[in-house]
Structure 1
């Protein structure tokens, strides 16, 4: 508890039901089909790299209040007790490419999150799309101007 500094206790997690072949997700413990490429519960890539399999313990961001490292899924900073969600909201406000499920940074044209496998609805941000649209529009205007003689020759 951030106010009294007493260690909080939580109820023990229930053991997940095993799949027919006994496979469970290493991140969330959900039962997996033998043909699963991603966990149906958390989206983790199954059979992926060790980094992906350890996604549940990767650091998400820094606390905006004290600068301490926040772990994935933490509701509050373990050091000062500030809400962890602030860091995610501020990052989204800055138009960073972040996964909507786990908060991982995404490559610019990603189709899926490399950490958890969540599909990315748009590979580029809205700002990138607007900039691309403006560039294409300006180029079209210049080409039409040249074609129809609206731009005089520069000497």
Structure 2
């Protein structure tokens, strides 16, 4: 067995900085969203792709893939949102094994009301702190890192 390649001081600082920034940014966005709209980050994560889908409907499988969630987490979140009238489940007419999630009128109103403030928060907490050149550089770097991530392990080797 080979020795682990421990992070040097510069690498450790970068990694911790990335993790801390991501955690705190998500926490701040979530807190503002709950305060201003009553929606959780998880609510918004599902309402957003549904609001952009044709007729506000997506196969459950496709909705889960769009947010990168495992089936169990998605099912629990959809159930919570269904109880609040934000979404409803439907049978898939083209495949009896599948199911659909539909954005309700209340869900549409909720995402339409929350989106402007959410975009303002993202702009204020993230984009306004970077120059246009820094935004371009960060995009390039993040896309490079993300490009191969799905290929780094077989699905059976990775935990969702």
Common fold, TM-score beyond 0.5?
no
Which gives a bigger RCO, structure 1 or 2 (Cα 8 Å, sep 6+)?
Answer: 2
Higher helix share: 2
- State which structure, 1 or 2, has the greater radius of gyration over its C-alpha atoms: 1
